[in-house]
């Protein structure tokens, strides 16, 4: 997902097709980056890529308009757009120059730019920026056997600017699936005498499989937030799981009247309540 969205941001920022963008990650020779976690990768790394592209646009435009007889001579950066691998004068698209020619005009085989992105201290003091989700669960309870099935989950998410709806949807589906596992399946069994977990394999630690997960519908609520990050992005890493287990418990309560307050909600706990 990170490779995809960073390529999208760079391609959009420089007016290039995505196949002409190469994203490199996880190499100690590269600039320092935040950890892949905390729901902040898209906002932080994405902002840095966007800022680096802005710097590159400025350098390439200055090189292009400085060439003798340049079609962009006398223009300002605000007057041009980067589109289809060219720098184009917005009011007269016939006046354009290929990015390759602008790079050569800079007098070097490579035009590079670096950018550093970090949260503004005053903005953090004045505003809170969180992703929000409302999750709705349909639960079916067998009142004789105590078995719970979850045929449908609907998750409505407000997460600022969604860079890639396909990968973002997959991220939420994964989180909701985790939430179902948290609610109904997953439980660590410690031995308090030995201080060890006794069910430390997937043969004994149950996670939801396809038969346990029904339809999951993801709705992204349109939200523009220029305080969360300069590119309007918020995190999606954890939000899918946060409310799902509670919604499952509430749905079970609504279905059969049993309120279970410890997870996972097992057959034994449901039968005891019934």
List the catalytic residue out of 187, 217, 223, 238: 238
Instruction: Please enumerate, as own/partner, the contacts of 209-213 that have beta carbons within 8 Å and a separation of 24 or more.
Output: 212/150, 212/180, 212/181, 212/184, 212/185, 213/150, 213/177, 213/180
Structure tokens that stand for 269 in this block: 């706990």
Residue 238 known to be catalytic? yes
Cβ–Cβ under 8 Å, residues 41 and 80: no
| Closest alpha carbon to 119 in 29, 12, 233, 223 | 233
> Alpha-carbon distance 274 to 272, whole Å?
5
Q: CA-CA-CA-CA torsion for 166, 167, 173, 179, nearest 10 degrees?
A: -160
Q: Which residues are catalytic?
A: 238
């Amino acid at each position: 997902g990170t490779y995809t969205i960073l390529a999208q941001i760079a391609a959009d920022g420089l007016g290039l097709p995505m196949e002409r963008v190469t994203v490199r990650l996880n190499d100690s020779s590269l600039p320092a980056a935040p950890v892949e976690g905390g729901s902040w990768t898209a906002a932080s790394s994405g902002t840095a890529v966007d800022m680096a592209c802005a710097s590159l646009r400025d350098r390439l435009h200055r090189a292009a308009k400085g060439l003798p007889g340049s079609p962009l001579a006398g223009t300002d950066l605000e007057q041009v757009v980067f589109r289809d691998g060219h720098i184009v004068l917005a009011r007269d698209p016939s006046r354009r120059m290929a990015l390759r020619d602008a790079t050569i005009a800079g007098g070097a085989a490579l035009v590079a730019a670096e950018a550093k992105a970090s949260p503004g201290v005053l903005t953090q003091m004045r505003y809170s920026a969180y992703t929000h989700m409302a999750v709705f669960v349909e639960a079916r309870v067998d009142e004789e056997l105590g078995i719970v099935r979850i045929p449908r989950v609907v998750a409505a998410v407000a997460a600022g600017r969604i860079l890639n709806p396909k990968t973002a949807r997959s991220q939420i589906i994964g989180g909701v699936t985790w939430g179902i596992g948290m609610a109904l399946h997953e439980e660590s069994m410690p031995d308090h005498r030995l201080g060890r977990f006794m069910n430390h394999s997937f043969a004994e630690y149950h996670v939801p499989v396809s038969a346990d997960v029904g339809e999951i519908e993801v709705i992204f609520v349109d939200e523009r937030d220029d305080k969360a990050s300069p590119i309007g992005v918020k995190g999606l890493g954890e939000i899918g799981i946060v409310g799902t287990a509670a919604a499952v418990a509430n749905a079970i309560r609504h279905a059969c009247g049993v309120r279970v307050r410890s997870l996972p909600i097992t057959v034994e706990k449901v039968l005891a309540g019934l």
